[in-house]
Amino acid sequence: MAFLDWDQTIALNIDQIDVEHQKLIKLMNAIHDRNNESVNNKEQLADALRALIEYTKIHFSSEEKFMDSFLYPGIDMHKKIHKDLLAKLETISRDFAASDQSTVPESVFLFFKDWLIAHIKGIDTKYASYAKKA
């Protein structure tokens, strides 16, 4: 069973963005699965965390370009929230790489899952609604 399944409750019904959110979830699930394997390779886990961060940057950039395309008035606040999350993920990634832990703490997955769902249902849904009326 996957750590988090994408479903219609977090669909924005904007194809490109939904595909990107699905990919974020897939990357997080892959790290979670790898984390729970009996033999862990810390370097691979650290690389997988980096890959999640890199794709998060791609998604945020794509979403910000989309919001910009219809002059979304809430874009500055949305960009700031994206920036704050990236800073937090960078800290998590650095701390894990520097620690003597062989697995990523479960709290990291719970944090990312809760953040992503709240973000999509909250401010992502707001710009999606605005885009449909624009």
119 lies in the binding site for ligand FEO (CB under 6 A): yes
Of positions 28, 48, 63, 128, contacts ligand FEO by CB under 6 A? 63
Task: Return the structure tokens found at 57.
Answer: 């940057």
10 lies in the binding site for ligand FEO (CB under 6 A): no
Q: Other CB atoms closer than 10 Å to residue 40's CB: what's the count?
A: 15
CA 107 and chain centroid, separation: 15
Give 11 or 46: the residue with its C-beta nearer to ligand FEO: 11
CA 72 and chain centroid, separation: 21
The Cβ-side half-sphere exposure at 37, using a 13 Å CA radius, reads 11
27 lies in the binding site for ligand FEO (CB under 6 A): no
Residue least distant from ligand FEO (Cβ):
124
Using CA atoms, how far apart are residues 49 and 28, in angstroms rounded to an integer?
Answer: 8
Only one of the segments 37-45, 47-55, 98-106, 119-127 lies at the binding site for ligand FEO (rule: CB under 6 A); that segment is 119-127
Per CB under 6 A, residues contacting ligand FEO are 21, 59, 63, 78, 82, 119-120, 124
